[in-house]
Chain A
Amino acid sequence: MKAKFFRTISILYKDLLCELRSGQGIAVMILPEILIAGLFRISGITITEPERLVSCVLLVNLLFAGILGGERTALSEHENGCINGLLVCPAKSEEIYFAKFGFNFLLLCLFGIIIVPILAILFLTESNIHLLELLFSILLINIALGSVVTILGFLVYRSGAGNSLLSVIFIPVMLPVFIPAVNLITYCLGGGDTIDTGNKAVQFLVCFDIIFLTLGWLLFDFVLEEN
């Protein structure tokens, strides 16, 4: 058990080190999303429910950050043939999956920490934010995003179908997460939804996270195995 944990952490540490050295992943995620947020703000749309608008913009940003991050995770292994090194290393496929998921999750959390204050500054005039609930909600959403994009990113790259297909399959799969997440984040930002809706959304997200993490763990072996 200890050996499994250390193997997972080693692969995660390797990815984090590469990311710290290059800094490309987080830059690719952050800059377009700030532009998107700015575009929404300067478009001059009438804001009647600012909390709901912020939750939508935040989720769109998280979605595209997830796609970009997932593409980079898979691409970084496939370019220069690094995937062969990963396959022959003593780590099992589930350890690789959880390491890659951990990397995507941490990247998305970092992204969330940066983007949420920016959105609050751009859109919210009055602040009635339930901060702990907001952080917990974003954590749940990032677990869902990370678990799905890790397996789909590798799936699309192994298929040789091209990275543009990741968004084609990722967005419909993630749609059931975003529908309750809009209500949940609206509540966390002090919007009109009740705590009852928030509780139901949290239960839904926890279910989704558990099931898709389990699914990713079970299926990742088939994605990585040679023909």
Chain B
Amino acid sequence: MTGPLVLGIETSCDETGAGIVRGRELLANEIASSVAEHARFGGVVPEVASRAHLEAMVPAVDRAMERAGIKPGDIDAVAVTAGPGLAGALLVGVAAAKAYAYALGKPLYGVNHLAAHIAVDQLEHGPLPEPGIALLVSGGHSSLLLVPDVTGDVQPLGATIDDAAGEAYDKVARVLGMPFPGGPPIDRAAAEGDAGAIRFPRGKYHDGTLDFSFAGLKTAVARWVEARQDAGEPVPTKDVAASFQEAVADVLTRKAVQACQRNGVTDLLIGGGVAANSRLRSMAAERCASAGIRLRIPRPGLCTDNGAMVAALGAQIVSRGLPPSPLGLPADSSLPVTDVVVR
């Protein structure tokens, strides 16, 4: 397979990602995570993340080049997450990408983090269906998008009005005495629990919109657990985890299928860190099968934040001959999802 050789840099949250892609072929995906440094604070501390990005950046890119078996001068373009994300964290990646682009004399592409979460699936499952519906769920985002063209036409259909789905996982994990980040421990506990044990509320389930709300669910879980504790009863942690996870997966997949049906789209893609969740994956598979929708979910290592997703989007943008970003490219912590490339 041929195509442009692109270095992708991702620093929007707590993962320093350096990926290398040739067209739709994944050559390297190096990730340095500062998650362990944040765990005792119960959430990502921006300054801690930014300091870690600075230290990890050059080594991550060096490892990616070595893994890909290329030299810096072989690169055709540099792509970087320009937003959305933590402002101070984004700036480390944007400044690094500019320096690589300038030093190597190659074009720079500042791209949208959410579009990159969609584009990454091409590395595993081939060209994206156009149009497709994308459900992006992570610690910072919960969005439904109509995607006629991931390089330039991404339309928001709905988003969370309060907490992101992954944020609800982190908060419920804390209620249950589990570590940060909450997704993996809740998923493990839920595997041995009864998902029908407790009927937790599904926010905005019947409101007809494609928006989400997880704050009420999180609070309902906390109240339920506190009531058991106040009564001196043991908390059935596994059942709580499974019932909570069932509510999240139910509302996410219900609205994702609705988004497909309302837009006459037969392809759904799920991305973002929460897409690694086993119940979300299995429920999405069941509901898409019965609705006649083709489902694509990248493998977990490509769902969480990484540099390959940025490189994948960058390679597609280069292939389409779209103009690059200027060296004055700003980082934008609240970059709208409709801005795929920042110019």
- Are A and B physically bound partners? no
